């Protein structure tokens, strides 16, 4: 069974329990579950002999349960750590803004598990091959939203950014939830993005689950840039909203393969 840490509201240090022991020791003060994903290798899990391997399915099921209860969780992506909630739950979306201290006029992206899911929540006007060339990957594509998306999510804009991170856990999480996740960086607004769970420990008490996937990338500033955000809502052209970590390769695909023109600020 998986190893789980619970963060209490008490002033005592975070305790570490085995999963089987937790059922006997839980109390009402226990709040945040910190679940560790153990990397897999060709020879099995990278854990010492005698240490029980965490089960990804159990971590997924626990995280899905919290999300469906309207809670906010922290998860690893292919770029930085993110805060996630059910995009179709207006209450959960409000919690994300409250936890981050985020300006209500700044939009949240959505995360889905597969390319086909994009067509449910966005009006796609670019070739499907373009989507598949960029996703899954460290890119957020801004498209016109469809009527199926929660009207309380970014009600001030007809557009929405959509992500499919190149990360098995969060993709499977979105699939198991049966709908899009509202996704944003795991940090207080205006603060540095995070590549390890300890870097946003101040947010833990307000989260139902923290999924620890280890350190993401390296410690260079470039590793904290987040996804490259591209607006594809206008026919025949694109606009860079945020350069992020994958701009050169993204631009090459858009311009060389699909002949899109870059929209400038003075367009």
Q: Is the pLDDT of residue 92 over 70?
A: yes
Q: What is the mean pLDDT of residues 103-118?
A: 96
Name the one residue in this structure whose structure tokens are 């929405």: 160
| β pairing state of 73-76 and 209-212 | parallel
Structure pTM? 0.84
Task: For residue range 180-230, list pLDDT tens digits in order.
Answer: 999 999 999 989 999 999 999 999 999 999 999 999 986 667 778 999 999
Model pLDDT for residues 8-20, shown as the tens digit of each residue: 443 323 333 333 2
H or E segment to which residue 77 belongs: none
- Angle CA 41–43–49, to nearest 5: 100
């Amino acid at each position: 069974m998986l190893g789980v840490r619970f963060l209490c509201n008490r002033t005592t240090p975070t305790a570490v329990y085995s999963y089987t022991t937790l059922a006997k020791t839980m109390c009402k003060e226990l709040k945040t579950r910190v679940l560790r994903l153990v990397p897999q290798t060709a020879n099995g899990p990278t854990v010492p002999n005698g240490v029980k391997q965490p089960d990804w399915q159990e971590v997924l099921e626990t995280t899905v349960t919290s999300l469906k209860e309207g809670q906010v969780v922290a998860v690893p992506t292919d770029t930085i750590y993110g805060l996630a909630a059910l995009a179709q739950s207006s209450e959960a979306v409000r919690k994300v803004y409250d936890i981050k201290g985020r300006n209500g006029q700044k939009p949240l992206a959505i995360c889905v598990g597969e390319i086909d899911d994009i067509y449910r929540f966005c009006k796609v006007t670019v070739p499907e091959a373009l989507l598949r060339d960029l996703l899954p990957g460290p890119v957020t594509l801004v498209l016109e939203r469809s009527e199926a998306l929660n009207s309380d999510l970014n009600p001030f804009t007809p557009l929405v950014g959509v992500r499919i991170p190149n990360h098995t856990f969060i993709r499977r999480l979105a699939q198991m939830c049966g709908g899009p996740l509202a996704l944003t960086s795991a940090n207080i607004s205006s603060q540095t993005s995070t590549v390890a769970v300890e870097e946003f420990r101040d947010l833990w008490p307000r989260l139902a689950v923290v999924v620890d996937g280890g350190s993401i990338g390296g410690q260079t500033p470039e590793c904290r840039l987040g996804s490259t955000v591209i607006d594809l809502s206008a026919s025949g052209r694109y606009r860079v909203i945020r350069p992020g970590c994958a701009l050169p390769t993204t631009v090459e695909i858009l311009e060389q393969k699909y002949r899109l023109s870059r929209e400038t600020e003075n367009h």
